[in-house]
Structure 1
């Protein structure tokens, strides 16, 4: 298969659009279409399903895209390792992470890694949980650190552990002395919630609906730091993970109370890599450091 055709194919696969791929590659739509047609003729199956809103991968296309992504990443990895033989340079490790881990945990793990391997370079992208997985799947990140409620067949989970959801409130709050709270306990109080792109909000909405409870948040936000400060100054309740606030509870005068409902414990934190990819020595070492840090956090 021709490398140009594969590059064009992967651009369309990642963007879901011929026009966006054209802008990204700086080539005409007709040129991309011709290359994809040649690929489809070569493999003997359609690689895309043409839909009104764009291009969706067929089953054959999904298989080819997964293969191309792994091949490209492993090729970049080999080049990095060859360069390291001739100079002090090391690999660049690209991380996609949920906000909860980017604030406190990852800076410490990266700093510790650099003490051992000062030539390594890091690129960190903070994204919504599902976008972290997409970046790993598309090859835009080597490692994903995120919350998830499901497994993706194109993702290898290097490590997973339960990440239950807690109610966050001031130490002076009426419920703060409880060992746990129910969703019904929270209903009389003002509540501030993350937006619906987050696993916390998705699980909360589903669980509340199953319990027949209706919540009208006084504040909806896509940033957990903002909700934490709002909880401090307003006395409202918000929802959080222990990973997000554990290091700050004492200094911020807050408590995190477990929510007594099985639906609020279904989420896990995952370290993700692309399924089938061979990890470099540097990536393996960094994954081990992340695992050790997550185990310490428990």
Structure 2
């Protein structure tokens, strides 16, 4: 039978990629961890790790066992919470998010949810899109709200909604008289961009490569607030998702222009959960709340 200590040790080696690092974090001798993993491999009948010079990587069987162990640990915690009377609406919801959704959308959604469910508390780590998905995959959070360009393994997409990238300008900018533009029409104007590696920037770079054009941005930042403020102060143009700044667009004299280039329409915003996991009632309720709020945002 798969026992809890062995699975705990196994998961920590999966997370860290090293028996020594797992030993340090768990305060357990490395030999004990290796022995328990060896017993697991003997019990299952296949290797759970590939030993590589840079560390230990789960084999195909190891990845399957890790997914099972994560779900089992989360469901055990959930059952214990329900037995102790904490499984109803009135618990902590852990949501990982990329910068775009964390700036405005999620804080407003969380505050609104708490008005109906005042016992609920939240944790909101803000990370890269791929890291948000990874936190859901390994069970560190309940939900991820993040922009995505492609499917991810071991993830259930609860909701997906297109999240095109738009040009953001001041209401008195020369382009503000337009509703739709092509990317090359931004060339005469100062531009502010997100950092490389974001879904926004990856699609922008892809479009530039396809069109054979290039820009010299005056500002590069990971902060949508910094980009929006720079647009206001310098009368520049930035590329942003409507979900990221919809409150600013409504209140601060900014306008979003549709970009007609098809590359700028390839991403979605997703609400993700671990595949196969039964979510606690409060997390399910908050996911439904997010879906409703997303449906109210026009893009």
Where on the TM-score scale, by shorter chain, does this alignment land: which range?
over 0.9
Asked if the contact 1:200–1:240 (Cα under 8 Å) also holds between the matched residues in 2, the reply is yes
Against the structure 1 CA distance between its residues 25 and 197, is the aligned structure 2 distance closer, same or farther, given a 3 Å change threshold? Answer: farther
Shift of 1:205: 1.1
What residue number does 2:10 align with?
9
The verdict on how the C-alpha distance between 1:6 and 1:88 changes in structure 2, with shifts beyond 3 A counting, is closer
Q: Would you say the 8 A contact 1:170–1:253 is kept in 2?
A: yes
Residue of structure 1 in register with 2:283 after alignment:
283
Q: Is the 8 A contact 2:89 2:281 kept in 1?
A: no
Q: Helix, strand or coil for the counterpart of 1:152?
A: coil
Q: Secondary structure at the match of 1:214?
A: coil
Relative to structure 1, the CA distance from residue 211 to residue 16 in structure 2 (aligned partners, 3 Å threshold; closer, same or farther) is farther
1:194-273 to structure 2, matched below 5 A, reads 194-273=194-273
1:8 & 1:156 partners in 2: Cα distance? 26
TM-aligned CA deviation for residue 259 of structure 1: 0.9
Q: Which residue of 1 aligns with 2:128?
A: 128
1:88: how far off?
A: 8.8
What CA distance in whole angstroms lies between the structure 1 residues aligned with 2:115 and 2:280? 19
Structure 1 unmatched ranges of 5 or more:
none
Please identify runs of 4+ aligned residues in structure 1 that moved more than 6 A: none
- Residues 225-279 of structure 1, C-alpha deviations (whole Å, 9 max, x = no match): 1111112112222110001111112432221111111111010010111000012
State the number of aligned residues: 297
Mapped to 2, the partners of 1:230 and 1:28 lie a distance apart of: 53
Under a length normalisation based on structure 1, what TM-score does the superposition of the two structures give?
A: 0.93
User: Secondary structure at the residue paired with 1:277?
Assistant: coil
Cα-Cα RMSD: 1.9
**SS at 2:172 equivalent:** coil
Q: 1:213–1:290: structure 2 CA closer, same or farther, 3 Å change rule? A: same
1:294 equivalent in structure 2: 294
TM-score normalized by structure 2?
Answer: 0.92
Deviation at 1:89, TM superposition (A): 8.4
Does the CA-based 8 Å contact 1:80-1:90 persist in structure 2?
A: no
* 1:98–1:145 CA contact under 8 A, matched in 2: yes
* Kept after mapping to 2: 8 A contact 1:98/1:146: yes
User: Take 2:102 and 2:217, find their aligned partners in 1: how far apart are those partners?
Assistant: 26
Q: Distance in 2 between matches of 1:222 and 1:258?
A: 22
Q: What's the CA shift string for 1:164-185, capped at 9, x where partnerless?
A: 0001122222222122111211
Distance, in Å, in 2 between the alignment partners of 1:53 and 1:224 is 36
Q: Could you tell me how far apart the structure 2 residues matched to 1:219 and 1:53 are?
A: 37
Verify the 8 A CA contact 1:182 1:259 in the aligned structure 2: yes
Any idea what SS the aligned residue of 1:13 has? Answer: helix
| Contact 2:145-2:271 within 8 A present in 1 as well | yes
Q: Which runs of 5+ in 2 are unaligned?
A: none
State the partner residue of 1:27.
28
Distance (whole Å) between structure 1 residues aligned to residue 55 and residue 226 of structure 2: 36
Please give the secondary structure, in 2, of the residue aligned with 1:161: strand
Instruction: Measure the CA separation in 2 of the matches of 1:36 and 1:28.
Output: 13
Residue 103 of structure 2 contacts residue 224 of structure 2 at CA under 8 Å; is this kept in 1?
Answer: no
SS at the partner of 2:181?
coil
Local SS of the residue matching 2:57? strand
Alpha carbons of 1:90 and 1:208: their partners in 2 closer, same or farther (altered >3 Å)? same
Encode CA deviations 1:69-122: one digit per residue, 9 max, x unaligned.
Answer: 11111111111212226x998332111112222232222322233233322222
**Hey, what's the Cα distance between the residues in 1 that align with 2:258 and 2:170?**
14
2:75 maps to what in 1? 74
Pairwise mapping of residues 29-44 of structure 1 onto structure 2 (< 5 A)? 29-44=30-45
Alignment of 1:70-109 (within 5 A): 70-84=71-85, 90-109=90-109
Q: Are the counterparts in 1 of residues 105 and 244 from structure 2 also a CA contact under 8 Å?
A: no
